Amino acid sequence: MTREEAIEVLTSKDVSMMLEALDMAINALEQLTSYEQTINKLTKAISEQEPTTHGYMLVCPNCGLDVHSDFESCPRCGAKMKVGDV
């Protein structure tokens, strides 16, 4: 139902159409409330995550790619990584 159709129904004298429009509006609000609750749960879960402390990033001396310290060579260009490449 478009906005114009909803306005037409609400301004008409047809009670059954008004009730249908009201039911649709209530269902839409319930869906929005459910979406909001889901977003709030996800936001809380994300904010409670601990940052990782495993390793650190190095900069490839050849191509400049940020490479995790667990890698012995750059995945882009194959250059050997050294601890001094931070």
Q: What is the distance between the alpha carbons of residues 51 and 45, in angstroms, rounded to a whole number?
A: 13
Per-position pLDDT tens, the chain of length 86: 788 887 787 777 777 877 888 899 999 999 999 999 999 999 888 777 655 545 688 889 999 998 888 889 999 999 998 765 44
CA distance 66 to 27: 48
CB 69 within 8 A of CB 56: yes
Q: Is 53 helix (H, G, I), strand (E, B) or coil?
A: coil
Domain boundaries along the sequence of the chain: 3-47, 51-86
